[in-house]
Every structure is written in structure tokens, then in C-alpha cells.
Structure 1
């Protein structure tokens, strides 16, 4: 590939960096990184809890790619705002439950760190659910105030 073609083509890297500068992109990247750190902490202490971090990290990465490539407008079959809302809401609830259980059990320091990071993940996923709530984003149009022509 020639240098002029490489510089003129936006490519995947440009789409990734452009999307990662948006609020949704920052939230998804933060979710991916936080899930990875929690996965490392759970793997060091109790591998039984690590599946939640793996699943949430994979879902966040999938939604990152979907929004980055603008597939949400190209695949109208799925209602993406509601799917993303339920993903984040379920993630927040599951991280809250898992973190409380892990912190009550008390174990080695990596388990406690994973529990605290799980509570932070609960807040992050909860904020993402609040931001992506579809009914909050709908614009309402004003009702006409003029009377309709015709018999009353």
C-alpha cells in the first residue's frame, strides 16, 4: 500500500481513535479495562468469580466494535439502545451482588481489591446504564396549539 493511500484512507485505527474520544467510547474502554483488572484480581484469588468479568469484558468489547464501526445504524434488526441499556444494567446488578459476596467472605488482599473494584465497576456500569437509557434520549415534539379547521 502506498503512503498516499495509507494517509488518505481513514481506516480502522482512525475510527477507533475517533470513537474512543466520545463519551460512550470512554465509558466502554473504561469498562473493558476495569473488567480486565478485576479478572486478574479474581484469577489470583478465587477463579470461581472470574466468569462475570470475562463475560462483561467481551460484551463491552463487542459493543465497542459495533458502535465504532457504526454497525448499530447498519443493522436495524436489533434495538441497540435497549440492548446496551440492559447489558449495563445487568452488569451493574451482577457486579454489585458479586462484590458484596466477595467482601463479606474476606480473603486474601487480591480478593478484597477485586471486591472494591467490583463496587467501582457497579458505579461505572450504573452510570453507563443511566446515560444510555433510551427513554431519556427521546425528544418530545410539542403538540399543535392551533385549532384544527373544520366543524367543532
Structure 2
């Protein structure tokens, strides 16, 4: 007979997901993923299919960072400074979304899906800029670096 008291790995992962989305960073990353997906749909339904590469790349990067922070892999793999990487990702995303969205809104002649993608892109640019700001505050409060190892082994 199966042991019903032990929790399955799937339920543990689901609980981690739920608890991480309730944090500020988790909510911001989940919103970035959702708005990037909406922008992909808008650009895909447009008669001019360009400008979807920014949304695809930013959605994939947001998913990667969401998984890394949710599973607390940033504490296990300390070779990469994850907070600085996240700051750079969010800053580049904000800049690219704002530039491409302004172009889409200005050149969206009679293409409602392209204009909608541009408007959602402007919102995404603001969201990514807010993510950059909150990550910068986190870096500023932590001093921008981690403690050096005092281990004698090299």
C-alpha cells in the first residue's frame, strides 16, 4: 500500500510556486511573463509580424529568472551574481520594450494588433523599469556584493 502521508515533489513545487508568486519579486516576474505573452499574441496577429523577438526573448529570460529565484538556485550557484544579472536583464528589457513599442505605435497604420502590441509594450517597458528600480534598491541596500569566503581552501 502506498504511503499517503508523504508529500509528492509536484505538490512541493506547486507550494513553492504559490508562495513565490506572493512575494513582490515573484509577482513582478509573473506579470512580466504574462504581459510578454500578450505582446507576442498581439504581434503574431498583426499583418506585420516584426518586433516579436523582443517579447519572446524577454519572456524566456523572465521565465528563467523566475525558476531560478523560485527554486532558490541563486543560493546554490553563486558563480553568477544573480541580482546584478537580473538588474541588467530588466534594464535592457525596459529599454528595448520602450523603443520598439514607440515604433509600433507610430508606424501602426490601420493595424490594430500592432498598435495594441505597442501599447502593451509601453506598459511592459514601465513594468521592466519598475523591476530595474526595485532591483537597484535591493543592490543598494545589500551593498552590491556578497561576503567573501573566509575558507582557507582555494
TM-score w.r.t. length of structure 1: 0.86
**Distance apart, 1:8 and its partner CA:** 9.9
Contact 2:83 2:139 in 1 (8 A): no
* Distance of 1:67 and 1:81 partners within structure 2: 10
1:106 to 2:115 alignment: no
5 Å matches for 1:1-150? Answer: 2-6=3-7, 11-45=12-46, 46-107=48-109, 108-133=111-136, 134-138=138-142
* Distance of 1:74 and 1:5 partners within structure 2: 25
In the other structure, the counterpart of 1:143 is none
CA offset digits 1:12-33 (Å, max 9, x no partner)? 1111111110000000000000
Contact 2:101 2:119 in 1 (8 A): yes
* Higher deviation after alignment, 9-18 or 89-98: 9-18
TM-score w.r.t. length of structure 2: 0.85
CA offset digits 1:32-91 (Å, max 9, x no partner)? 000000000000113221111111000000000000000001000000010000000000
**Distance apart, 1:130 and its partner CA:** 0.3
Are residues 8 and 57 of structure 1, via their aligned partners in 2, closer, same or farther at CA, if it must alter by over 3 Å? closer
User: Max radius of gyration: which structure?
Assistant: 1
What is the root-mean-square deviation in Å for CA atoms of aligned residues? 1.8
Listed as ranges, the gaps of 5+ residues in structure 1 are 140-152
SS of 2:51's equivalent in the other structure is helix
* Higher deviation after alignment, 126-135 or 69-78: 126-135
- Counting helix residues as a fraction of each chain, which structure ranks higher? 1
Listed as ranges, the gaps of 5+ residues in structure 2 are 144-154
